[in-house]
Structure 1
Amino acid sequence: SPVCPRLRTLFLSSNIFHRVNSDFFQSMASLRVLKLSYSNPLLFEISKVVSLQHLDLSHSRIERLPIEFKYLVNLKCLNLEYTYGVLKIPPKVISNLKILQTLRMYECATVPQARDSILFGDCRVLVEELLCLEHLSVFTITLNNFHALQRLLDSCMLQYVSTPSLCLSHFNNSKSLGVFSLASLRHLQTLHLTYNDLEEIKIDNGGEVKRVRELSAPNLKRVEIENCQDMEEIISSEKLSEVPAEVMENLIPFARLERLILEELKNLKTIHSKALPFPCLKEMSVDGCPLLKKLPLDCNRGLERKIIIKGQRRWWNELQWYDEATQNAFLPCFKPF
């Protein structure tokens, strides 16, 4: 085992550990920063490094956090993002990290949970443990229950905590979701929806949300987004590039969308970078979106003349079209307010 009493930072990312001696970290009494992303770390040994302040386990193959993690009382930053396979986080581990300042759990534990995990069921136990962290200033999270989300939104903790990313997953087969007052989630830039049964969503007062990732909600029929002053795009081209090629071949964003309503999105520049077929779209309403200069409309869909597009006359006249044929196809579809 290494003898490094003065070692303060150790990066072991992208390593496959088949065997590590139980005393591997024993002579690292000064270790403050440990990065094990993209690895399969042996977590029980890590729990002995009580000097740790920053621990990065993102994208790792961990399946559970040991109860001994509660002894990492000096931990200030814990990154568990994209640890999809986590089956269990025991109670009183997160809440015992009293001086934790940054907790990243975006896309953490997306598989069914063990019954004694704080992520089992409706995630409300997780939220209650978060509320015990008096020094928390940044966190990202995945929630699967509206009541847990509402408990979070109602808490005074959000007045001083930054939440860059929020994922709402598998909301108990809910077909309709209304998300209001997201402005209380400071610095929220990405809202990710990942459940197949969702048919309707309304987002109002979205604060700093810049994009909504809804590609995992293939049954959406109605999308209504209002008063999100920082939103710049609905479907991000950057995020689409992350989708595997074999999935993209069969993926049609908004394949079942019937109504799209966008209001008071002052910085919205694009819905999608390319034209979409919108096979089921019946109505598109745009108001208070001065920077939205191009609609992702396919010429063939316009020729069917089954879509109603509502908006201000001035906005319509300033739209930029892919070509003259597309413009002519959709001219009869416009109905001014």
Structure 2
Amino acid sequence: MTIPTFSDVLVAHDRIKPFIHRTPVLTSSFINELCGAELFFKCENFQKAGAFKARGAVNAVFGLNEDQASLGVATHSSGNHGSCLSYAAGRRGIPCTVVMPHTAPQAKKDAVRGYGARIVECEPSTSSREAVFAEVVSKSGAEFVHPYADPRVIAGQATCSKELVEQVEGIEVVIAPIGGGGMVSGSCLTLSNLAPDIQIYAAEPEQADDACRSFKAGHIIADDAPQTIADGLKVPLTDITWNFVKNHVADILTASDNEIIDAMKLTWRRMKIVIEPSSAVSLATIFKNKQVFAGRRVGVILTGGNVDIEKLPWL
């Protein structure tokens, strides 16, 4: 297991700058009053391909040598990593294949195809996606870019928190959603080096709370096919992301699907920005645990905005 270093983050940020946005940080006095804290929303919903995962995908793709790149890249993904890897591969002009559950939102499938990738569908379980993916790679020889258990990806995701602490002074807490743990691991990597006094929290759906249970148990607990409205957070931790979580995360907080939907609706209505359910988990857990964040300056990473507007969760 290769653990990325902060030097890898600095290299990654220079590598990806031509291909990503330095996303803005927004605030809402209304939401601040409701939760009793000062929130600073790092808006990765405005990122290329609509999600923070563009950072890690671009870093991985543009870090390949010519021989590796010639065979293309492949991954398994419920949506955002797949579309972001497709985006990165398209910018480099190489093939990309994405294994996706057939239940993935149509908007995310359309985005993957729109960037030029090929989709191979699987059942909505970790075991199925891994089995189908193994067959795809054995035939193509493509470079596997894992959605989160990849040091190149984690180093890329770590650039988000680097920008956040450069944009906002005096942050005391950073919170981000957790599924496989790529963004949280990247946040841990950056903040433990740049701002070790900042506490790091992770937010997770109650109906896919394997990371929370792992954190309490002290070892990885993996669910194969959890069901939650937050489709991007159904995957389990791996050894590399668990290494960051167990050493740097203060706590993992959870919220119900209804609470996630309420936070998503509030963000749409009051901030006038589009976020997806997986992105709303952090705000939902802040409202549910006001005593943890009260009076503090909190960086909230809004991880993505890829929503199927024909199937909004409150319809």
TM-score interval, smaller chain: under 0.3
Larger radius of gyration: 1
Looking at both structures, which has the greater relative contact order when contacts are Cα pairs under 8 Å and sequence separation is at least 6?
A: 2
With the length of structure 2 as denominator, give the TM-score of the two structures: 0.23
Question: Normalized per residue, which structure has more helix?
Answer: 2
